[in-house]
Amino acid sequence: MKIYTKTGDAGETSLYGGERLPKDSTRIEAYGSVDELNSVLGVVRSLVPSSGLREDAGRRLDGILHLLQRHLFAVGADLAAPASHEKKPLDVPRIAEENVAALEALIDELDAELPPLRTFILPGGIAAASHLHLARTVCRRAERLVVSVNRSEGSTAAIMKYLNRLSDLLFVMARWANHTAEVDEEKWSA
């Protein structure tokens, strides 16, 4: 399979199933942001071994990140093969309620190990945590784009819920990484 097809040279791309869309359409922007988020999580994974985390904490963080990357491929596939556009169902992974529940369980598990948050904190700390904060902001952008797709086309409610919960998890993961590495959070003050 060739990497280049030349079919996108005029500014259009294909959804799974063949439908053509402009590359600057909201749907394409949405799954492009999901792809960017997945890449940022890959950067975080590469930073984990040198991040100052205990070995067991590093393995735990890497395992969660790997799971999230697999989920994000399903989100991208779901966006690239919208159910509302199908004449016949395509065999594409879809984000479901159990994926959201898995994120909620991780949030609760990691947050239980953290001191209570009583004020805003500045993004930062160890490199892995700083990049998790970056991932959170990319996730929020992807979520906003998916909201726009949902408003105009419908069928992305599960993805919206997943991305909303994922951004919360990324925030908790950043705090957890800093806490586990014994790096104090910088509290925001005006």
Domains in the chain with CATH codes: 19-183 (1.20.1200.10)
For residues 69 and 38, is the Cβ–Cβ distance under 8 A? yes
pLDDT at 166: 99
Query: What's the average model confidence in pLDDT over 176-187?
Result: 95
pLDDT at 87 over 60: no
Element (H, E) at 187: strand 186-187
pLDDT at 145: 97
pLDDT at 185: 92
Say how many CA atoms lie within 13 Å of 65 toward its Cβ: 27
Q: Convert the pLDDT of each residue in 2-60 to its tens digit.
A: 888 887 787 887 777 778 887 888 999 999 999 999 999 999 999 999 999 999 999 99
Query: What's the average model confidence in pLDDT over 113-141?
Result: 97
For residues 151 and 83, is the Cβ–Cβ distance under 8 A? no
pTM of the model: 0.92
151 phi and psi angles, rounded to 5 deg: -65, -40
**Cα 8 from Cα 23, distance rounded (Å):** 8
Arithmetic mean of pLDDT over the chain: 92
**Cα 40 from Cα 38, distance rounded (Å):** 5
DSSP code for 85: G
Confidence of residue 128 (pLDDT cuts 50, 70, 90): very high
pLDDT at 188 over 80: yes
pLDDT at 86 over 60: no
| Positive/negative CA dihedral, 173, 102, 43, 135 | negative
For residues 90 and 17, is the Cβ–Cβ distance under 8 A? yes
pLDDT at 1 over 80: no
**Three-state secondary-structure class, residue 122:** strand
